[in-house]
Structure 1
Amino acid sequence: MIVDSHCHLDKLDYENKHQSIADVIAKAKARGVDHILSVAVELDEFEPLETLTAPFDNVFLSCGIHPLHQNSDRSEQRLLAYCQQDNVVAVGETGLDYFYSPDDKEAQQECFKRHIRVARQVRKPLIVHTRDARQDTLDILAQHGEGDVTGVLHCFTESLEMAKTAIEMGFYISISGIVTFKTAQALREVVAAVPLERLLVETDSPYLAPVPYRGQQNEPAYTRAVAEFIAEIKGITVEQVAKQTSANFFSLFQHAKSVTG
């Protein structure tokens, strides 16, 4: 069993690549990807995503406001209402992105803090996006989480030092297809150093398709390629990676229930 711990099922190509969401899930299961966490990046996108995935008990949901979507509805009460639902297993994605949007740092930081408050209220983990904002991300988590919030740094591309600090705070590190890219040697060194017990795997599909699927739209089935690459880095079997990262997922996202036993 493999879990795609972060993707966006509502953004896949259902006109040209997939017949339907059932087709996507069937392709994933054929590659051993039995569970999927699909993430809403705007509040207005949550209810359509909920409707899309409702027939599938192996698809879990998260709701948040991506740091690059600060022009969308940022209502804390609406976020809280969605995140209180039983089918929502996490809060986010949220966080800071100074690489693509350095001019609205204050708005991003305030929105991030709102997500942390909601996570503490509903007692669910955070899904954190961070890019070129290492210290601010860690500082805000420490100051506003107050040791009461866990979660994951998703699609991790930052330093080993940041990974170690986040792990000390109770966070997991999620690895996407970026680890397979030729330019990702530094990330491969992070993966080698981080204990398997603190790793998750993801696609972030439809983005960042791993080798050998570069140039294609990503999909949950390709999580297996990420797991296989991590196994190669660590010198272990893909079965070991699959078993441990799946256990990590259900340990972190305690509102998510395995449907395969």
Structure 2
Amino acid sequence: MLFDTHVHLNARQFFEDRDAVIQRAFDAGVSYMVVVGFDRETIPLAIEIAEQNETIYAAVGWHPVDAVDMTAEDLDWVEELAAHPKVVAIGEMGLDYHWDKSPKAIQKEVFRKQIRLAKKVNMPITIHNREATSDIIEILQQEDAKEVGGIMHCYNDAVDYVQACLDMNFYISLGGPVTFKNATMPKEVAASVPLDRLLVETDAPFLAPHPNRGKRNEPAYVKLVAEKIAELREMAFEEISEITTENAFTLFGIKRS
């Protein structure tokens, strides 16, 4: 049994065959998923998909690339949705210095507001990080995010930063890049992260794992991620599956059904 902790089944890429994609995931042993909503369009659909499927949940938040678009009303809306029984995390939130749509100062402000909201509603945080690791860790420390903890989603940075994340009660989630032949850092992380802080994800439809790299990703492929981690750690695939699924249950406060 596998748990895809970060998937965008609400993305336009799945509009035509979402039900089939979900069924393929279940058939592949991916029994649980968290669909992540991150703006006005994707948040309602994340909740709708979660409502329609017993073992699919939702996370709601605001993506840093679109931080400039977030209003006070949007923040209030996210807070209201946090009370929904299928919402298990706030996010994805964080910083993205690759794209320049939202100025860094605004990204940081929106990030801080969402951390405070997560603490207010007592929910874990899902972190998006692109080329901003030092600033993200600094803000998480300053805002005492350790209080709720969360996920470093699709972690793709040096092992050196992992301990700071662990110290703040965060889990390390690995996706497709750990399977890429030239991806050294994710492999090093996969081999060294404490087992009780390890999660797996796809971030589908993005970052499809080898041998599907470059194609549309889907949650069934999280099995390839878990298999690679098992290989790197010289463990049984079933053991990695069980451990990462239990970790997700613990983090999200989900009871096994």
TM range (shorter): over 0.9
Coordinate RMSD, CA, aligned: 1.6
1:229 and 1:191 mapped to 2: Cα distance? 9
Q: Secondary structure at the match of 1:69?
A: helix
Task: Kindly tell me the number of residue pairs found equivalent between the two proteins.
Answer: 255
Aligned to 1:243: 242
| Aligned partners of 1:43 and 1:64 also within 8 Å | no
2:15 and 2:122 mapped to 1: Cα distance? 38
Residue 101 of structure 1 deviates from its aligned partner by 3.0
Is residue 2:148 matched to residue 1:149?
A: yes
Deviates more, 1:226-235 or 1:131-140: 131-140
Aligned to 1:60: 57
| Aligned partners of 2:68 and 2:103 also within 8 Å | no
Is residue 2:95 matched to residue 1:104?
A: no
Q: Secondary structure at the match of 2:123?
A: coil
Match of 1:25 among 11, 22, 25: 22
Aligned to 2:138: 139
Aligned to 1:13: 13
Residue 15 of structure 1 deviates from its aligned partner by 6.1
Q: Secondary structure at the match of 1:214?
A: coil
1:12 and 1:23 mapped to 2: Cα distance? 15
Residue 186 of structure 1 deviates from its aligned partner by 1.9
Residue 12 of structure 1 deviates from its aligned partner by 5.3
Aligned to 1:175: 174
For structure 2, the 5+ residue unaligned runs are none
Is residue 2:45 matched to residue 1:48?
A: yes
1:99 and 1:132 mapped to 2: Cα distance? 6
2:171 and 2:95 mapped to 1: Cα distance? 17
Q: Letter of the aligned partner of 2:10 in structure 1?
A: D
1:165 and 1:211 mapped to 2: Cα distance? 29
Residue 97 of structure 1 deviates from its aligned partner by 1.1
**Structure 2 vs 1, CA of residues 70 and 102 (structure 1 numbering), >3 Å: closer, same or farther?**
closer
TM-score (norm 1): 0.92
**Structure 2 vs 1, CA of residues 248 and 162 (structure 1 numbering), >3 Å: closer, same or farther?**
same
Q: Deviations over 1:90-134 (max 9, x none)?
A: 000000111223861111101111111111011110000112211
Q: Deviations over 1:204-242 (max 9, x none)?
A: 000000001112200000000000000010000110110
Aligned to 2:189: 190
Residue 53 of structure 1 deviates from its aligned partner by 3.6
Is residue 2:40 matched to residue 1:38?
A: no
Q: Secondary structure at the match of 1:155?
A: coil
| Aligned partners of 1:7 and 1:206 also within 8 Å | yes
Residue 73 of structure 1 deviates from its aligned partner by 3.1
Aligned to 2:157: 158
2:118 and 2:37 mapped to 1: Cα distance? 15
Aligned to 2:256: 258
| Aligned partners of 1:120 and 1:145 also within 8 Å | no
1:51 and 1:187 mapped to 2: Cα distance? 33
| Aligned partners of 2:51 and 2:86 also within 8 Å | no
For structure 1, the 5+ residue unaligned runs are none
**Structure 2 vs 1, CA of residues 120 and 15 (structure 1 numbering), >3 Å: closer, same or farther?**
closer
**Structure 2 vs 1, CA of residues 50 and 103 (structure 1 numbering), >3 Å: closer, same or farther?**
closer
Identity of aligned residues (%): 36
Residue 89 of structure 1 deviates from its aligned partner by 0.2
